[in-house]
């Protein structure tokens, strides 16, 4: 992992904590800059992905149907010419 301040590769972990999403690590570079990284649990990512897919799928289908109807209407209008 590179430092966001100086892009140096030499850094170390100061503190590690378990959080509800996964693990939070505080890091420090040789330049003195500190930042936090979060390692998210893969099961949580999968659950959130599945939730959004189920929530957004009906909207995508509705848009697709509207777009298909509009295109069909356009083709019909062009064939009348």
Domain ranges of the chain: 1-40, 41-81
pLDDT at position 78 over 60: no
pLDDT in tens, 10-65: 999 999 999 888 899 999 999 999 999 988 888 878 888 888 778 777 766 667 67
Higher pLDDT, 1 or 26: 26
Secondary element (H or E) of residue 67: helix 42-80
**26: how many CB neighbours lie within 10 A of its CB?**
13
Give the closest residue to 43 by CA, choosing from 18, 24, 17, 22. Answer: 22
Q: Which residues are CB-contacts of 39 (< 8 A; sequence separation ≥ 6)?
A: 22, 23, 24, 25
Q: Tokens 């301040």 correspond to what residue?
A: 5
Rounded distance, CA 51 to CA 77, Å? 40
pLDDT of residue 67: 72
Higher model confidence: residue 77 or residue 26? 26
């Amino acid at each position: 992992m590179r430092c966001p301040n100086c892009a140096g590769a030499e850094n170390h972990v100061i503190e590690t904590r378990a959080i509800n999403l996964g693990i939070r690590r505080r890091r420090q570079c040789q330049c003195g800059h500190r930042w936090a990284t979060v390692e998210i649990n893969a099961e949580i990512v999968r659950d959130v992905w599945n939730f959004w897919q189920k929530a957004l799928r009906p909207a995508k289908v509705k848009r697709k149907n509207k777009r298909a109807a509009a295109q069909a209407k356009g083709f019909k209008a062009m064939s009348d010419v």
